[in-house]
């Protein structure tokens, strides 16, 4: 069994995945870290600037394809893992990536208060711009329904510590304490 953490930027996926990993001894695979590794250490903002969002989304798909036979991992997914771009460059739900994720394991959405997410992420230079003309809040409003529809479980992180969230995931999936 694999545990797949999805959700918007700033929801706590990376922190919860590392905490959960220590508790259940599953290794963490971060899609964003693999992308950086596979591109010679080029940071994601620079990759997106040089090659564009479509190339980034295609690389996510390639990584998920390579992980199809994995077992016993925690997959820490980038915030846009559930999305691709249409021919006009607009974000659309990614059936190809969601299909792999559903076969791979249980998808757990980590959610936070909308305003808390926007406040945490806007202006963060370590993350690539999602769009030059759209605010994160606007993008988040479009993405939230896809996160909800795609997930097996949802955990609201607004009042939980990373340890509490990890415990909740273990309970949901039947791991012993």
Can you read off the two tokens belonging to residue 175? 């791991």
The CATH code that applies to domain 3-171 is: 3.40.50.300
Rounded to whole angstroms, the Cα distance separating 54 from 29 reads 22
pLDDT at 141: 86
What global pTM score does this model have?
0.89
Rounded to whole angstroms, the Cα distance separating 44 from 79 reads 13
Binding residues for substrate: 32, 57, 79, 143
Cα 77–chain centre separation: 3
Rounded to whole angstroms, the Cα distance separating 80 from 82 reads 5
Closest CA to 157 of 15, 18, 2, 3: 15
pLDDT at 137: 74
pLDDT at 130: 45
pLDDT at 118: 65
Going by their DSSP bridges, the two strands 3-6 and 74-76 should be labelled as: parallel
Binding residues for Mg(2+): 14
Q: pLDDT below 50 — which residues of the chain?
A: 127-133
Binding residues: 10-15, 32, 57, 79, 127, 143
pLDDT at 170: 97
pLDDT at 132: 45
Going by their DSSP bridges, the two strands 106-111 and 3-6 should be labelled as: parallel
């Amino acid at each position: 069994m694999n545990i797949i953490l999805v959700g918007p930027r700033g929801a706590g996926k990376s922190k919860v995945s590392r905490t959960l990993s220590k508790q259940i001894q599953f290794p963490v695979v971060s899609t964003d870290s693999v992308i950086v590794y596979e591109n010679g250490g080029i940071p994601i903002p620079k990759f997106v600037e040089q090659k564009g969002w479509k190339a980034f989304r295609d690389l996510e798909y390639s990584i998920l394809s390579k992980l199809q036979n994995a077992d016993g991992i925690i997959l820490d997914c980038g915030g846009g893992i559930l999305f691709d771009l249409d021919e006009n460059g607009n974000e659309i739900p990614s059936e190809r990536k969601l299909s792999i994720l559903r076969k791979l394991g249980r998808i757990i959405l980590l959610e936070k208060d909308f305003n808390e997410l926007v406040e945490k992420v806007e202006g963060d230079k370590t993350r690539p711009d999602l769009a030059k003309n759209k605010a994160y809040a606007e993008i988040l409003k479009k993405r939230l329904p896809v996160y909800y529809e795609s997930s097996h479980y949802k955990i609201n992180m607004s009042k939980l510590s990373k340890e509490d969230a990890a415990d909740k995931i273990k309970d949901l999936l039947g791991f012993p304490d």
